[in-house]
Chain A
Amino acid sequence: MLLLASAAMVYAERKVAALIQQRHGPNRVGPLGLLQPFADVIKLMFKEELRPGGADTVLFLLAPVISAAAAFAAFAVVPFGAETTFFGLLEAPLKLQVADVNVAVLVVFAITSMSVYGIVLAGWSSNSKYSLLGGLRSASQMISYELPYGLALASVLVLANSLSLTRIVDAQAGYWFGFIPKWFVFLQPVGFLIFMTAGVAETNRAPFDFPEAEQELVAGYHTEYSSMAFAMFFLAEYINMVTVSAVATNLFLGGWHGPFLPASLGWVWFLLKTSALLFFYIWMRWTLPRYRYDQLMQFGWKILLPLAVLNLLVTAAGVLFLGL
């Protein structure tokens, strides 16, 4: 399912980018260009597998594996629907989640912090100065933005009183005044913004994609990669985006709760909300200019981190005094 999602993302990215840039985008391969991602994958598979001479073989091949593995593994604890019986086809309700861990939020955080290694190793083992610079910069960026990411997460935990993603989503069921859904984004607008900003920085996407900057560093840490290894980095980036959007949907946008549909079809709402966030991701990439590296780091440490701490304090004070 994740693979299909990433294929859909590749297509969506090119189409949306094209529409924003007032051109057509892929429309040759298949109807409306829908088979474009498959054409891309086939092209990548047939490319020659290059490896630079001085590169350290083990690490060079290990790096994309770590990136891709971490990206997929993080999604394992993210629930994407309520317990469902698929329109009565199954006898017992099936949890739409690979593993219902009661510290799920921290597990996602832990695995995304492991994906730093894929990038650093890629930069180092390619034995080329562009890759090394790109790798180190990207790693510093990811580590710096993990802090506001974690703090925004902590603010949601204060509201929801549990670390299990399923329970956090369930805490967002219901409505106030009959029509405003009880999503945390309304209680925590700043938290949501911080989370999304840090998430974009974590996944190395524009406007924080300086390490991959096409104009400045050739392609940063994956300069020397081709064919399947490059495909794995590519894949890992899209899956990371999907994971961040999915977690944000669960934490802030109420997961699979929505009007007009019974609970067992909640995953439809989940898909819609996640797709909206992903569209937002792509939109930002092709609209905003790129931050320079020092501006990026300044923003992360001097603006986002204090804001996240303040958000946590205000949330905690609110819960204490208002008894939410």
Chain B
Amino acid sequence: MVTLNHYLALSVILFAIGSTGVFLRRNMITVLLSIEIMLNAANLTLVAFGRHFGSVDGQIIVFFVVTVAAAEAAVGLAIVIALFRLRESLDPDVFTSLRW
């Protein structure tokens, strides 16, 4: 019998994996990918709770989260491209000064 706990535990595991990726990776694109993993974990929680309470609101919020994630990924990648053109590197540690 699959309970709510199962889904929540899975989403927590995915969230932890995503956040570990954000902290540990030295490649900006992989960092953005880890953020997507975290957003997906949140989506799973929303849908699981929506199903649990029998309401369709969970799915609707997920709809909006996916849209916002798409917008954020687009802008984030545009920033990565702009930064890459400047310093030819994808390592976040290279961009340490606020002005150049």
Do A and B touch (CB < 8 Å)?
Answer: no
